[in-house]
C-alpha cells in the first residue's frame, strides 16, 4: 500500500463538515442562498437530527460572521487571500474555534483533514498554523484587537459583525438604538409558518401561535415534517410578511380583483390569494422571472374554485394588464434585503452600496406601475424587506412628488429587536377616486 494512500485515509474528514464545506462553497463562490442551499443538501443527505443541526449552525453561523472571520484570518496569517476552497475550510474552522462548543484540538484537526481532502495535502501545515494563531484569542479578544485603530462606526460594525455602510444606515435610522438593532440580526429566528386561509388551521402547524398574525405559528424543526406544508396548505413565512399582507387585505377598498406585482417566490401571494377568495375576489400574481413564476404557481397550487388565483410571468414595469383595474395592489419590490439578515446571514457581506444604487430606480418604476394599476379608490401597499431610507422613504418621496392622484394613508416599520419580525417596511397609498 502506497504511503500517500494511507495518508488520504487517515485524513478522511467527517461527513457533516464535508457537507458544510460544500454548502459554504456554493454560497461564497456561486452566490447561493445559505438557507436554501442548506435545506437542499440536507434533504438528500439522510443525516440524523444532531448532525443536521451541526451542519446548519456551522454554515449559518459562519455566513453571519464571514466578514469578521476574514479579518481575523488575515490578521492571523498575514495574508489577504487564500485559495477559495481553503478559505472556506478556514472560515468553518474559525467558527468552531470562536463561536461553537467544539474543543480546540478537534476544531483544528478536523479542519486540517477537511482542507487536505478538499484542497490538497500541501495546505495541511498552513491550515494547522493559521488556526493555532486564531485559537490564541477568543472572539471578543479578536474584536478588541481588530478595533484598536477603528473609529466609533468601525467599532460598532466590528462588534455587531456588519459592514460599515450597513451600520451607518442603522445609525441614520435609529441613533443610539442601532447597536441593539444590529445585534438582533445575529440571533437566528425560530422558523415561522403560515396557513393558507380556507385550506388549513393554525393548530395544524403544531407550534406557538404568532402574537399579531392570526394565521401564523412559530415551530422549531423541519417544516416539511408537517402534512399541511407538504400539501401546499401552509408554508414558511415571517410574521412581518404576514402583517404587511394583512394591512393591505384589511384596508378599505372598492370591489375588484387584487394584484401582486412582484410575486416571486409566492409567500405573500399565497396568503393574499386566500384572503381575496374569502372576499370573493381573485388574485393575479405576476413575477418577472419565469422560474420564479413557477414557484409562485407552486405556492398557489392548493387553491381551487371560481376565485382560484392566477400566476403569470410578466414585467411589472411593463404591465400585461389594463391600468386602473385592481382594487388592491401589493408592490413588494426587489430590495437589498437588509431587514431579513437574521434568515439570510450572508446577505450583509454580499450586498454593497452599489446594489442599492441599482435597485432604487427599479423600485421607483415598480411603485409607479403599481399606482397606475390601482383602480380609483384602490389601495397600494409599497413593501420592502429593507429598512434602508433610500429604499423606503426615498422612493416614496421621489414617486409621490410627481403625482397628485395619490394620498398616503399609513406607514409601518417593523424591527427584529422591537417586534420579533423581519425589518419590514409598508406604506399604504390610495389612488383618489
Cβ neighbours around 381 below 10 Å, total: 26
- Residues 368 and 426: their CA atoms lie apart, in Å, by 16
Residue 344 in grid coordinates: 439570510
Roughly how many angstroms between the first and final C-alpha of the chain, as a whole number?
85
- Residues paired with 209 in a beta bridge: 217
Of residues 63, 262, 335, 385, which has the active-site annotation? 385
Q: Judge contact between 240 and 268, C-beta under 8 A.
A: no
What are the cell numbers at 402? 410627481
Q: What is the DSSP code string of 287-303?
A: ESSHHHHHHHHHHTTT-
| Whether residue 426 lies in the annotated active site | no
Give exposure, 143-176, as e/b (b: 16+ Cβ within 10 Å).
beebbeeeeeeebbbbbbbbbebbbbbbbebbee
In 147-208, alpha helices (H):
152-160, 164-174, 178-184
Q: What is the DSSP letter of 222?
A: -
Q: Which residues pair with 192 in a beta bridge?
A: 218
Number of Cβ within 10 Å of residue 346's Cβ equals 23
213 Cβ contact partners less than 8 Å away, ≥ 6 residues apart = 194, 239, 242, 243, 246
CA distance 370 to 364: 10
What is the bridge-based pairing of β-strands 234-236 and 283-287? unpaired
The DSSP 8-state label assigned to residue 402 in this structure reads: T
CA distances from 100 to 129, 132, 139 (A): 20, 16, 11
From CA 117, how far away is CA 107, in angstroms rounded?
15
216-218 vs 192-195, strand pairing mode: antiparallel
CB 97 within 8 Å of CB 108 = yes
User: What are residue 124's DSSP bridge partners?
Assistant: none
Instruction: Give catalytic residue positions.
Output: 385
Amino acid at each position: 500500500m502506497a504511503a500517500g494512500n494511507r495518508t488520504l485515509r487517515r485524513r478522511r474528514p467527517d461527513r457533516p463538515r464535508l457537507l458544510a464545506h460544500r454548502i459554504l462553497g456554493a454560497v461564497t463562490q456561486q452566490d447561493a442562498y445559505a438557507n436554501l442551499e442548506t435545506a437542499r443538501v440536507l434533504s438528500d443527505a439522510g443525516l440524523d437530527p444532531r448532525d443536521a443541526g451541526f451542519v446548519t449552525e456551522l454554515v449559518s453561523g459562519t455566513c453571519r460572521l464571514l466578514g469578521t472571520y476574514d479579518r481575523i484570518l488575515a490578521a492571523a496569517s498575514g495574508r489577504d487571500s487564500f485559495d477559495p476552497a481553503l478559505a472556506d475550510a478556514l472560515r468553518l474552522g474559525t467558527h468552531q474555534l470562536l463561536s461553537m462548543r467544539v474543543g480546540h484540538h478537534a476544531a483544528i484537526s478536523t479542519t486540517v483533514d477537511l482542507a487536505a481532502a478538499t484542497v490538497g495535502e500541501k495546505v495541511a501545515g498552513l491550515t494547522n498554523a493559521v488556526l493555532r494563531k486564531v485559537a490564541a484569542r477568543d472572539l471578543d479578544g479578536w474584536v478588541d484587537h481588530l478595533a484598536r485603530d477603528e473609529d466609533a462606526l468601525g467599532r460598532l460594525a466590528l462588534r455587531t459583525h456588519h459592514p460599515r455602510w450597513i451600520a451607518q444606515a442603522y445609525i441614520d435610522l435609529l441613533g443610539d438604538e442601532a447597536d441593539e438593532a444590529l445585534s438582533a440580526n445575529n440571533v437566528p429566528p425560530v422558523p415561522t409558518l403560515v396557513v393558507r386561509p380556507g385550506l388549513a388551521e393554525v393548530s395544524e402547524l403544531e407550534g406557538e401561535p404568532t402574537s399579531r398574525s392570526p394565521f401564523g405559528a412559530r415551530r422549531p424543526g423541519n417544516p416539511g415534517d408537517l402534512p399541511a406544508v407538504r400539501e401546499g396548505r401552509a408554508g414558511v413565512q415571517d410574521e412581518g410578511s404576514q402583517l404587511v399582507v394583512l394591512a393591505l387585505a384589511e384596508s378599505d377598498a372598492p370591489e375588484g380583483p387584487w394584484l401582486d406585482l412582484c410575486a416571486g417566490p409566492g409567500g405573500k401571494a399565497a396568503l393574499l390569494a386566500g384572503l381575496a377568495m374569502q372576499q370573493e375576489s381573485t388574485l393575479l400574481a405576476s413575477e418577472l422571472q419565469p422560474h420564479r413564476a413557477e414557484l409562485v404557481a407552486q405556492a398557489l397550487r392548493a387553491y381551487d374554485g371560481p376565485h382560484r388565483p392566477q400566476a403569470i410571468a410578466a414585467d411589472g414595469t411593463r404591465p400585461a394588464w389594463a391600468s386602473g383595474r385592481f382594487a388592491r395592489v401589493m408592490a413588494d419590490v426587489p430590495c437589498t434585503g437588509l431587514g431579513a439578515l437574521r434568515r439570510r446571514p450572508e446577505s450583509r457581506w454580499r450586498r454593497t452600496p452599489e446594489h442599492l444604487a441599482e435597485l432604487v430606480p427599479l423600485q421607483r418604476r415598480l411603485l409607479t406601475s403599481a399606482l397606475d394599476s390601482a383602480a380609483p379608490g384602490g389601495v397600494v401597499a409599497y413593501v420592502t424587506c429593507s429598512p434602508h431610507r433610500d429604499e423606503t422613504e426615498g422612493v416614496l418621496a421621489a414617486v409621490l412628488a410627481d403625482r397628485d392622484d395619490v394620498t398616503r394613508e399609513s406607514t409601518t416599520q417593523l424591527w427584529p429587536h422591537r417586534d420579533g419580525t423581519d425589518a419590514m417596511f409598508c406604506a399604504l397609498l390610495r389612488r383618489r377616486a
